[in-house]
Chains A and B, each alone.
Chain A
């Protein structure tokens, strides 16, 4: 006969270890005291301006650490430079996963760089989350379940512009300026899809430029000569500034649609001269930090305080800093929701089941949500137009598909 005491002890032990096992589960990168997050970013090279995103994300994590961490665990954020060179991204990611043993990869920038590692991270089952790239390939839960981006994808945004033109100016003649890389080309493709059958008749001129080109004047002269009355520019900040300046100076007055990445008051419109940007149409999902309408907004003031305290050398004009702040906040929320179950699978599960979160620096009404079949986190965009001082709504929110 089994000693009841032994039985009781065995039973208690089993219960204790069983519940302990149910309480804390860790994959490499997570312990009782620490969560390791890895990232590569272009801190050098032609895309170095996006390095600012990484720095702000690091500052946000520092703030969270000072406020007690995530469920008592400190974040160890390892961000390596890849110079926007895919072989270096591969090297960095392999080092982070294999040597530094990070729990997940977060917020990496660029389509080519992320493409270089996505097969590897999906094979190794490492969460590859909140990527800073709008390419449409990242919403693929069937084939690449571990990769998820945090950007409304470029083709969807372009389709919003196409839709708007079809509705308001069905007989327009359109000229397109686009950056000659996956950013610009993805936009152009989406735009053409949005115009559908009328693409050939409506687009009268297309011109591309390289991100290393010093000027885009020649392309703009060519576009103006086509007689178009609508200009769509899928460019980044520098070319956008030059475009605004040149178009204004040349006397051409097209209706100007601008990709969201370049439609920033502080970083683009002010350097060019805000009066040159009057009437520009774009889409927005976040608050422009230089838009005076948010001056007394509580969320804006929080963000400003954060920047002043944790990123004093950060440039307050850059939209990147708003984006980075929001993305880092979301990452912290996801990890918090994991509780003590810090396995990679659970991190992914939490990331794929976000329920209607209103991030403070996002426009009221733009909620972030995800599902296991649909990884697109930001699904609505607000068309906006600039009046020389602030962004005004141009119609209602558009749900992107």
Chain B
């Protein structure tokens, strides 16, 4: 994007600092959070567990989007396409090939990674507004492609594919919703851990370098094209896994579930949650899942106007997202306690 008054980067560089080794206090928070997360399934009703499992699926999707937009500075208005890819891959493998549900997640990951990389290769030549168009186009055509008559025997056409919910294995005393929740939790933990290590390693540093100082990075020998396409691949991989998890939770896939509005929602969630921050993915997922229903309670007549208004307020108050706001709150608390 051209120079015009504010930063070239899609997010302020300040945020990159937060990616150091995880502090003790932070570890404490995470452990406490995990404990709460493990206890919840025994306290909440089943349908709320379903909602939380959806939050996990969106968190994975947003993590993927975050990697691309926040940490690598590219833009995507069409990540719903990768979400749909993972969801349909899972559904087709379960329904047509009889795979067990847990095996579909790695398959979705592989597929997402490959397709993302292949899309990223030509797309990396585009920047800013042009990449926005290309990805927006991807998001718009996704439902059409899913409905395409030629693919109907596999995709179920407009009617979609119905799945069964898996039961807890090994005769564990959990109902299907509880089991899926724990399964999702395990997947999310694993994927977040991998992302955290990835970002601290060589690949992660090249990602961020390409975002912040592309010319300097190239001068230092980083292959910008390769980094960008690999990032696209990893990003699509994560979002695909999120899609697969969502398919198993909802037990249904249809083209109507993956419209361009999903892609836009994912972007909104990523930005609201806080780009270039792993916790941002979680905040964003909670936003996507719960705020529309909340808005409906506030106003039955124009709920999306309320949603939009909430969005506006959040952007005006916290342009760097909730994670940015939380970070500021944390540093304010620490400065208070040390003064």
Contacts and interface: CB of A to CB of B under 8 A. Distances in A.
Do A and B share a complex? yes
Interface of A: 43-46, 80-81, 83-87, 90-91, 94-95, 97-99, 110-113, 115-116, 119-120, 180-182, 185, 210
A86 B47 contact: no
Q: Nearest 5 CB-CB pairs, A to B?
A: A94-B47, A116-B252, A182-B158, A112-B254, A98-B47
A91 B51 contact: yes
Interface string B284-313: 000000000000100000011000000000
B252 A91 contact: no
B50 A91 contact: yes
A377 B77 CA distance: 45
B87 to A, nearest CB: 10
Contact of B158 (A81, A85, A185): A185
Interface of B: 45-47, 50-51, 54, 144, 147, 157-160, 162, 164, 246, 250-252, 254-257, 259, 261, 296, 303-304
Nearest to B148: A180
Nearest to B162: A119
A98 B46 CA distance: 8
B239 to A, nearest CB: 15
Contacts of B255: 112
Given A87-B246, A94-B47, A95-B47, A115 B159 contact: yes
Contacts of A99: 45, 47
Q: Interface SS of chain B: helix, strand, loop or mixed?
A: helix
Contact of B261 (A45, A86, A120, A210): A45
Nearest to A117: B252
Given A81-B296, A85-B257, 5 more contacts: A44-B303, A83-B261, A86-B252, A87-B257, A185-B158
B250 A90 contact: yes
A86 B147 contact: no
A113 B256 CA distance: 9
Contacts of B246: 87
Pick the most buried of A87, A112, A210: most chain B CB atoms within 10 A of its CB: A87
Given A112-B256, A119-B162, A87 B304 contact: no
The main secondary structure of chain A at its interface with chain B is: helix
Contacts of B47: 91, 94-95, 97-99
Given A115-B160, A182-B159, A185-B157, A81 B303 contact: yes
B45 A98 contact: yes
B160 A86 contact: yes
28 contacts: A44-B304, A45-B261, A46-B259, A81-B303, A84-B256, A85-B256, A85-B257, A86-B252, A87-B252, A87-B257, A90-B50, A90-B250, A90-B251, A91-B51, A94-B46, A98-B45, A98-B46, A99-B47, A112-B159, A112-B256, A115-B160, A115-B254, A116-B251, A116-B252, A180-B144, A180-B147, A180-B158, A182-B157
Contacts of B257: 85-87, 112
A111 B159 contact: yes
A181 B252 CA distance: 17
B107 to A, nearest CB: 21
B159 A85 contact: no
A83 B54 CA distance: 17
A228 B157 CA distance: 28
Contacts of B250: 86-87, 90, 116
A112 B259 contact: no
